[in-house]
Amino acid sequence: MISRRDLLKLSTLVGLAPSFSVLGRDLAAPDYRIDIAPVTLDLSPRHRLKTTAYNGQVPGALLRFKENQPVTVEVTNHTDRPEVVHLHGLFTPPEADGAIEEGTPPIEVGASARYTFTPRPAGFRWYHTHTMAMDDLTRAQYSGQHGFLMVEPRDDPARYDQEFFLALHDWSGYLLANEDGAMNPSYAVATINGKAMGFGEPLRVKMGQRILLHVLNSSPTEVHWIALAGHAFRVVALDGNPVPTPRTIPMLRLAPAERVSAIVEMDNPGVWVLGEVRKHVQALGMAVAVEYEERRGPARWEQPSDLIWSYEQFAAAQPANASPAPPILVPLVFESRFRGHGAMEAWTINGESYPNAKVAPLIRGRRYRLQLINKSMDDHPLHLHRHSFELRTLGAPLTAARGAAPSEIGGILKDVLLLDAQTRAEVEFTADNPGASLFHCHQQNHMDRGFMMLFEYA
């Protein structure tokens, strides 16, 4: 095993290296190197666990790419099983996207793989393992294999004094019977950036600063609600894409794989808690102190009385990508299949589980509207690889009277949508990135059990 210190040293050296030109890239050192290896992680004084991580740390090193500037990343697998690293939210070719289902070759034990691609679009993305865990709640996304990835625009219009990247994660999973009669993962520990409350370094700020928070929910299965006591968030981007209507709100909701970028005005000196709104989750450790300069003492928490969130508040009245031709409708119905009270459910899209779930091939350049119909009793964070989609209608109950269509919205571009149980929603995307593109629920136990489908191009 490579020691954590060695890996940190290595990743620091490589991560700071300047980018090389495309010419001669194969001969040169990569711009970034990701080493996948076992680590022992101290989440808190009471919770030490063995997991797998990138470059010996959780989250993995922040990768900063320049938009449209080619980059080479080399990934080496030091674990005892094949791995693959998904570049979540990027429009990469299938062979570099990091999904074996799309055609990215797995990185065999002890092997390295080198990916050269042109990062786009700009914004807050992330990278993570895209393997299966099945019944092992320490593998795949249950492990520490996730890291931040920022594709910087050529001109950064954002105005902020300090930037923080925060990853919400759940650890030490165990199965618990759900009210719907099936087993689902629950967790013993919850962290921000791999540390439980009080164990990690506080976020140090100064009075009058504008800080930009990039929050990622890297949890394998859990939705999280985040608030910063004494402060509000001005949400400027969802899943790395600027929202048409930034709003100042008291809390954030992030489904697995979702990201929120928000500005916080540091105008209330003290030591505050930034953490999960729900008491039982914060009690598991999901919080971090925010410490103003020259302020000390216990961090203060102000408990919200409710959970408040909607995507619609950030929308524009008009769609971002109005197409003269009506979009091609693609109905996708999600259902569960009972596998026993002692098992997790299996999942289907239009009655079939992966790899049998299929739809007609995409035609390049055409606009598609996915009609997402969730007949199950679970919420699903739905993710489309290699494309962004635009939210068009949301939250219509399946039981709503025929003709009571929800109002249309536009302008919110995302790559993950949390579809509530027993509701339908519609999203649109343009088929402008040929190659196999995976569509799946980002809840690890759901994708493990069939909730995936490949969009193929004609």
Partner 1 sequence: MASLWRPTALLAIAFSPLLAHSQANYEIQVYGAETVPAETLMVELHSNFTVEGQQQTVDGVLPTNHQEHETVELTEGVNDWSEIGFYIFTSEQDGHGVQWVGDHIRPRVRIPDSWGWPVGVSLSSEIGFQRSAYSTDTWTWEIRPIIDKSIGRWYFAVNPALERTLHGPDVNQGWGFAPSAKVSYDITPVVSAGFEWYSDYGAIGNISPVHNQQQQLFVVTDLNVSPVWEINIGVGIGATSATDHLILKAIIGRRFDWGKHSPID
Give the residues lining the site for partner 1 (CB under 8 A): 172, 174, 176-177, 179, 181, 183, 186, 188, 277-280, 303-307, 338-343
Nearest distance from C-beta of residue 304 to partner 1, angstroms: 6
- The dihedral through the CA atoms of 72, 78, 82, 88 has a sign that is negative
In the complex with partner 1, which residue's Cβ is closer, 340 or 365? Answer: 340
Nearest distance from C-beta of residue 424 to partner 1, angstroms: 23
CB 444 within 8 A of CB 138: no
Helix or strand (DSSP H, E) at 5: helix 4-15
Nearest distance from C-beta of residue 379 to partner 1, angstroms: 14
In the complex with partner 1, which residue's Cβ is closer, 298 or 342? Answer: 342
In the complex with partner 1, which residue's Cβ is closer, 48 or 204? Answer: 48
How many angstroms separate the Cα of 128 from the Cα of each of 38, 51, 59, 75, 430? Answer: 15, 14, 10, 12, 25
In the complex with partner 1, which residue's Cβ is closer, 156 or 306? Answer: 306
CA-CA distance, 222 to 443, in Å (whole number)? 8
In the complex with partner 1, which residue's Cβ is closer, 252 or 453? Answer: 252
Instruction: Kindly give the pairing relationship between strand 287-292 and strand 203-205.
Output: parallel
CA-CA distance, 388 to 119, in Å (whole number)? 14
Nearest distance from C-beta of residue 76 to partner 1, angstroms: 31
- Tally of CA atoms within 13 A in the half-sphere of 320 that contains its CB: 21
CA-CA distance, 374 to 424, in Å (whole number)? 6
Nearest distance from C-beta of residue 332 to partner 1, angstroms: 23
In the complex with partner 1, which residue's Cβ is closer, 328 or 346? Answer: 346
Of 150, 129, 31, 148, give the one whose Cα is nearest residue 85: 129
Nearest distance from C-beta of residue 347 to partner 1, angstroms: 15
